């Protein structure tokens, strides 16, 4: 996500919600014996609200990613989801999160294939070299399957925490139908999909091969995706973590259909689609590794070809329990985790300062702070969780914030000094540890 920058959108300041101020006071007490960790938490926990959030006059909430003036469906959810546990009795947080949900619904109806949107229909785009069906609202139109899952995740968690139902209007129901219809279409991408994408900038990872259609795939029941959560093109277009996320999303949509909309016919359609995708994952998405046993592949084409790796972005293999597909003690997940944290994973790096997972999106030997945070959030043992917190604390390059990738030998060499998603995920890990009483 580094190429083209437009001037930063000014984010009007507003007072931090009372519930967020109370968390910061709680941290002052619980982390007083670790002054650097306390400083990091006080910087990172409110970062999304202080630097990336804009309350719009129509009641929606626009959230930029940080150093890019656009709202990513995926990033914006993960930037605010650590605030959900405090929203039940805080009307200001409800205004912020509920407004973001409403904006997501609007965007999905504008273009369900787009991954990032503008504040206004100003015709700003990541690249003028994109060959696809663009809209003035769309910043980037890379179809990432997970982009449609994250807004459902946010709405579901918000509903469960606050028990508020005002977000579930006719537009929300229409967006659910749009998501369902797109999933169905992309189960048979070559036969039914109108989506094409190429970018003539000379960077292979930014374009889909085969004239924007992608490499051939076999029908599996899974949903085709053009790009990964890193914004890089898929090698094989059935991304397994994204399809796991789609299964969880469909389960959550089933609850909306049954308990909010009372639409039993739609409920049955959602159940059938969930079963089709889940069957495809189990039949085509598991690789018998000679060292680790059965593991989840990162991608497959349904013809027996596999991409064996993990990427620091979410959804990835490490984040499977975080997404809710299987629990952290699932045997195949644990095999997969051991693979991802080994040199068998081409994007696992070890250096003088750290070891962990990076990404093809950043240079070799660069470890992502988000990967370390996710490793901690999905860790079974107290010791591993504390190890990740200590590693994150030691690799901020004394900036007081998390970054994207940093060199395994020298954390002072890093990408993206302002990356709100990374700050939020780190805050989620630290607060979880605070509540577990292990800090």
Confidence class for position 53, pLDDT limits 50, 70, 90: very high
Tell me the domain boundaries of the chain.
18-436
Q: Is the model's pLDDT at 13 over the cut of 80? A: no
- Average pLDDT on 126-131 reads 90
User: What percentage of the chain carries pLDDT values higher than 90?
Assistant: 92
- Average pLDDT on 184-205 reads 94
The pLDDT tens digits of the residues spanning 214-228 come to 999 999 999 999 999
Q: Is the model's pLDDT at 1 over the cut of 50? A: no
Phi and psi, residue 373, nearest 5°? -65, -45
Alpha-carbon gap, residue 344 to 354, rounded angstroms: 17
- Average pLDDT on 202-218 reads 93
| List of residues 6+ apart from 381 with CB closer than 8 A | none
- Average pLDDT on 173-195 reads 98
Among 12-26, 38-52, 163-177, 274-288, which stretch is predicted with the lowest mean pLDDT?
12-26
pLDDT for residue 204: 85
The pLDDT tens digits of the residues spanning 230-247 come to 999 999 999 999 999 999
Sign of CA dihedral 45, 50, 54, 60: positive
Q: Is the model's pLDDT at 9 over the cut of 80? A: no
CATH 3.60.70.12 fits 18-436, yes or no: no
Helices marked H in 378-419: 382-394
- Average pLDDT on 345-373 reads 97
Helices marked H in 256-317: 264-284
The pLDDT tens digits of the residues spanning 381-419 come to 999 999 999 999 999 999 999 999 999 999 999 998 999
Confidence class for position 2, pLDDT limits 50, 70, 90: very low
Residue 19 contacts residue 97 (beta carbons within 8 Å): no
pLDDT for residue 3: 41
Residue 138 contacts residue 117 (beta carbons within 8 Å): yes
| List of residues 6+ apart from 364 with CB closer than 8 A | 349, 358
Query: Of the candidates 134, 142, 139, which has an alpha carbon nearest to the alpha carbon of residue 117?
Result: 139
- pTM (2 d.p.): 0.96
The pLDDT tens digits of the residues spanning 264-299 come to 999 999 999 999 999 999 999 999 999 999 999 999
pLDDT for residue 118: 97
The pLDDT tens digits of the residues spanning 85-100 come to 999 999 999 999 999 9
pLDDT for residue 73: 98
Query: Of the candidates 136, 282, 159, which has an alpha carbon nearest to the alpha carbon of residue 221?
Result: 282
Q: Is the model's pLDDT at 12 over the cut of 80? A: no
pLDDT for residue 8: 56
Q: Is the model's pLDDT at 139 over the cut of 80? A: yes
CA angle 5, 11, 13 (to 5 degrees): 155
| N residues, the chain | 439
Look over the chain and give the mean of its residue pLDDT values, rounded to a whole number: 95
pLDDT for residue 4: 43
pLDDT for residue 203: 84
pLDDT for residue 14: 78
């Amino acid at each position: 996500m580094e190429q083209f920058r437009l001037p930063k959108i000014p984010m009007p300041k507003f007072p931090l919600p009372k519930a967020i101020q109370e968390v910061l006071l709680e941290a002052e007490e619980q982390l007083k014996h670790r002054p650097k960790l306390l400083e990091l938490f006080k910087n990172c926990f409110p970062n999304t609200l202080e630097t990336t959030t804009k309350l719009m006059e129509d009641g929606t909430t626009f959230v930029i990613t940080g150093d890019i003036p656009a709202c990513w469906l995926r990033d914006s959810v993960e930037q605010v989801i650590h605030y959900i546990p405090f929203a039940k009795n805080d009307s200001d947080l409800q205004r912020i999160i509920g407004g973001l949900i409403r904006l997501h619904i609007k965007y999905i109806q504008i273009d369900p294939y787009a991954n990032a949107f503008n504040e206004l229909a100003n015709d700003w785009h990541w690249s003028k070299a994109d060959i696809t069906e663009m809209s003035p609202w769309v910043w980037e139109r890379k179809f990432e399957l997970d982009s449609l899952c994250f807004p459902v995740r946010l709405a579901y968690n918000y509903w469960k925490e606050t028990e508020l139902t005002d977000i579930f209007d006719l537009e929300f129901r229409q967006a659910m139908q749009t998501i369902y219809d797109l999933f169905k279409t992309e189960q048979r991408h070559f036969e039914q999909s109108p989506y094409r994408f190429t970018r003539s900038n000379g960077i292979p990872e930014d374009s889909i091969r085969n004239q924007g259609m992608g490499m051939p795939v076999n029908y599996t029941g899974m949903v085709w995706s053009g790009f990964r959560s890193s914004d890089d093109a898929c090698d094989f277009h059935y991304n397994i973590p994204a399809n796991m996320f789609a299964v969880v999303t469909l389960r959550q949509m089933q609850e909306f259909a049954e308990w909010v909309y009372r639409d039993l016919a739609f409920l049955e359609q959602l159940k059938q689609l969930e079963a089709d995708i889940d069957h495809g994952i189990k039949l085509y998405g598991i690789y018998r590794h000679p060292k680790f046993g059965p593991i989840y592949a990162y991608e497959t084409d349904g013809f027996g070809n596999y991409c064996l790796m993990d990427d620091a972005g979410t959804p990835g293999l490490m984040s499977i329990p975080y997404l809710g597909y299987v629990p952290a003690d699932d045997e195949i997940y644990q095999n997969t985790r051991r693979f991802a944290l080994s040199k068998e994973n081409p994007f696992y790096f070890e250096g003088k300062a750290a070891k962990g997972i990076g990404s093809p999106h950043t240079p070799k030997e660069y470890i992502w702070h988000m990967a370390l945070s996710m490793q901690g959030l999905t860790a079974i043992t107290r010791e591993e969780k504390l190890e990740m917190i200590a590693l994150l604390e030691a690799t901020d390059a004394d900036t007081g914030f998390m970054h994207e990738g940093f060199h395994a030998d020298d954390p002072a060499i890093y990408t993206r000094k302002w990356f709100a998603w990374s700050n939020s995920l780190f805050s989620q890990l630290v607060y979880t540890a605070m509540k577990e009483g292990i800090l």
